[in-house]
Amino acid sequence: MSQEKVSIPKDEWQIVQEYHKNHEEKLKLKRIRSPIMLLRYWILEKYPEDEQQPISGLELITANSSFVQIFDRKLTGNRSVPVALTPTGLRCEYHKTSDCEHTQYTLQQETVKKIIRQKRKDGWSLPRFSGEFWSVGIEVIDIAITPA
């Protein structure tokens, strides 16, 4: 018998287990029976493909280690929107929040992804982006699956 081994952060696995508790009946109907299937299903729920689609009307002007400047065609007047990169996350200065289309767009930019990866190495707690589920250097647990 072979085993499939996956390492994920302990806190992420706790979130997946909580998801399982809250959606147990739905998961049974979908025949989600193993931790790997549960993890795969949860990832697809958490990171749907449409999140990865470009956000129209926005364009990256510049990005550096402390802020990103975005051009927003939907705004009138000053169409430039700064998104701050801080040790605790991203913040859209226009919406005064960390969860808007400007921060989502920021996380889609390859230039910004490189900056975020470097900042995490420096100890910053920045959000994950589509296609990146777990970071290196945090407490992980192993899930060993033995096929039946």
Give the mean pLDDT per block of 10 residues along the chain (148 residues): 64 80 81 77 66 75 93 86 90 90 87 89 75 40 47
Helix, strand, or coil (residue 123): coil
Looking at residue 10, its pLDDT comes to 77
Q: C-alpha angle with apex 88: 12 to 113, nearest 5 degrees? A: 75
Q: How far apart are CA 20 and CA 110, in angstroms?
A: 33
- Whether residue 68 contacts residue 60, with contact meaning beta carbons closer than 8 Å, is answered with yes
**pTM, two decimal places:** 0.54
Tokens standing for residue 74: 């939907």
Segments of the chain assigned E as strands: 4-9, 58-63, 67-72, 80-86, 89-92, 140-145
Tokens standing for residue 90: 């991203």
